[in-house]
Amino acid sequence: MLSADKNRILSQVQRGTRMGELLRRYWHPVAPVLELTQRRVKPVRLLGEDLVLFRKPDGSHGLISRRCPHRGTDLGIGWVDGDVMRCAYHGWGFDSEGRCTSQPFEETGPSGGFRGKVGVTAYPTTTLGGLIWAYLGPAPAPLLPDFEPFTWEHGFVEIIMTELPCNWFQCHENSMDPVHFEWLHQNGNAVRSDPESPTYVPRHLSIDFLEFEHGFVNGRVVEVPEVRPTGSFSSTNDVTDGGILSLWPYTLASGNTIEFRVPVDERRTLNFTWQYSVLPDDVPPGRQDPGAIPYWYGPLTDPATGDIITSHTGNQDFAAWIGQGTFADRTVEQLGRGDKGITLLRRRYFEAMRKVAQGEDPPGTVRDPAANVSIQLPLLGKARYTQGVPREVFEKKLAARKKNGLLGIGGFWAVQAGRPSHLQKEYDEIAGVVRKAPAGSV
């Protein structure tokens, strides 16, 4: 249970708030690279700030505040002209440094305009893993951590975005909650497939967490006789063997997914799922072109019923977080031994906020370029992601998928509902599940 004050501090994202300042010490994903190849301008809202993202002719990006300083219209309705974002109302232009570079009408007058006196806020961007990232904090910006999954070559990567009507921190608390997997996902799936007599999975007996430079390893002991470090979430895993990871500042990494719970503002979270669908080990390795990694927007509700979707792992999580309300009320919760990861996480965030207030870097900050090359993560069962899943295991999981229709399981099926069929087809062709149609065939 937390005081109302502490609950509010955890939820805030605005500049000048304690958490808002902590969040401004990290890089944030804002859009897929491919999306900005298909459109040149995208309005975005991040940490409560309204911004416009645009692509320049050389393929790099600009990120500037969305309100034109002239008479305040939305730069998001403008267009890119050369290297500048041009306002649609009277044509003022702004470069990716935020400088005003043109004032077409003013320049016709005797003074030649007053470009040097006006400008907009601009933030640096970079790209990694098929995503465009932004940094909204003070200089010098830290490095964007180059985590190893971005360099893996035995999977098919796609990016899924879903906006959630709730605060980001309750989403992130989920990354320190091993017990929920047993109920929200596994037993929930058991009920969905056999509502009359579901078979519940073995219970969790204890949970454990190991802290490391970039976050926390989740561990668990479940009610099964043997330890099976296979990467299966239902198995016992000792934290020293690796596990599911909670990474600073709001990321869950399981191997087949990395989920970024990006604060849009205090009331909304844009969940980016970077899904790595593992391929059979006999498929030759090859990294996807990061500029061409496909993306899609995952639906939250079923259009036929209006109900929130709960068929897939990711959607089940969304339903639980949204179910906590726009802001989880931590003043009335009843925590038990299953919540020790949650209390640890909160404590570490309060410590990190104190560090930032004292002018120090928070945890997970990377500043050494030599150390920022495919940063190794203590993930469980990593070999299947780095080397591919053995063909016979793949075939077994495929047969199970076809038989029971359970989705989001096995690391090679969409973790969220709504995967476009062309992506499923593309994956199945690469994996050798279906034969690729010869060129020119209908």
Residue 90 CB, shortest distance to ligand FES, in Å, is 3
Residue 75 CB, shortest distance to ligand FES, in Å, is 7
- For residues 95 and 182, which CB has a smaller minimum distance to Fe ion in the complex? 182
Site for Fe ion in 314-373 (CB under 5 A): 317
State which residue has the least CB distance to Fe ion: 317
**Binder of residue 367, out of ligand FES, Fe ion, none (CB less than 5 to 8 A by kind):** none
Residue 113 CB, shortest distance to ligand FES, in Å, is 12
**Binder of residue 386, out of Fe ion, ligand FES, none (CB less than 5 to 8 A by kind):** none
**Binder of residue 317, out of Fe ion, ligand FES, none (CB less than 5 to 8 A by kind):** Fe ion
Residue 106 CB, shortest distance to ligand FES, in Å, is 10
Span interacting with Fe ion, options 48-56, 82-90, 281-289, 311-319, rule CB under 5 A: 311-319
**Rg, the chain, Cα only:** 23
Residue 424 CB, shortest distance to ligand FES, in Å, is 44
**Binder of residue 71, out of ligand FES, Fe ion, none (CB less than 5 to 8 A by kind):** ligand FES
**Binder of residue 35, out of Fe ion, ligand FES, none (CB less than 5 to 8 A by kind):** none
Per-residue burial over 285-311, b if 16 or more Cβ lie within 10 Å, else e, is eeebebeebbbbebebeeeeeeebbbb
- Encoded amino acid at 241, one letter: D
Residue 88 CB, shortest distance to ligand FES, in Å, is 7
- The Cα 8–Cα 397 span in angstroms is 44
Q: Nearest 5°: CA angle at 275, between 269 and 281? A: 165
User: Residue 173 interacts with Fe ion (CB under 5 A)?
Assistant: no
**Binder of residue 397, out of ligand FES, Fe ion, none (CB less than 5 to 8 A by kind):** none
Cβ of 371: how many Cβ atoms within 10 Å?
Answer: 12
Determine contact, residues 273/413, Cβ cutoff 8 Å: no
- For residues 43 and 290, which CB has a smaller minimum distance to ligand FES in the complex? 43
Per-residue burial over 50-66, b if 16 or more Cβ lie within 10 Å, else e, is ebbbbbbeeeebbbbbb
H-helix or E-strand spanning residue 190 = helix 188-193
Distance from CA of residue 166 to its chain's centroid?
15
Residue 83 CB, shortest distance to ligand FES, in Å, is 17
DSSP output for 68-137: -TTT--BGGGSEEETTEEEPTTT--EE-TTSBEEE-TTGGGSTT---GGG-B--EE-EEEETTEEEEE-S
- The Cα 200–Cα 325 span in angstroms is 28
Catalog residues that contact ligand FES under the rule CB under 6 A. 68, 70-71, 73, 87, 89-92
**Binder of residue 73, out of Fe ion, ligand FES, none (CB less than 5 to 8 A by kind):** ligand FES
Give the residues lining the site for Fe ion (CB under 5 A).
Answer: 317
